[in-house]
Amino acid sequence: MWPVRSECSGGISISNSKSCLLCYQEPDNAVLQEDLFAWVEHSNFTVFKRSVLEPLHKKRLIEYDKSADTVTISPLGIKEVEHRILKPAVN
């Protein structure tokens, strides 16, 4: 797996980076929010939804379907992963 960076000034956090990266690996499939929570190893499910999924959805990096409990990376999220997470890790 690629290294995941933390950017504090206007960037995305470690949990947000991991979430985007994990969704990036499944671009054609919706990921269950419970699975993403487990993969990211966040300590609290309610806080994960409020502090990770909802802000990523608000920034349009993911599509968070609360009724289906699924997360899908958006085209903007794909671009974010490729330019801010993967590209710096290669350089």
For 41-62, the pLDDT digits (tens) are: 999 999 999 999 999 999 999 9
Parse the chain into domains and list their residue ranges: 14-90
- 14-90 is a CATH 1.10.10.10 domain: yes
The residues facing 64 across adjacent strands are: 71
Beta-carbon-side half-sphere exposure of residue 21 (alpha carbons within 13 Å): 21
CA distances from 16 to 64, 72 (A): 13, 13
12-16, 30-34, 75-79, range with the lowest pLDDT? 12-16
pTM of the complete model: 0.79
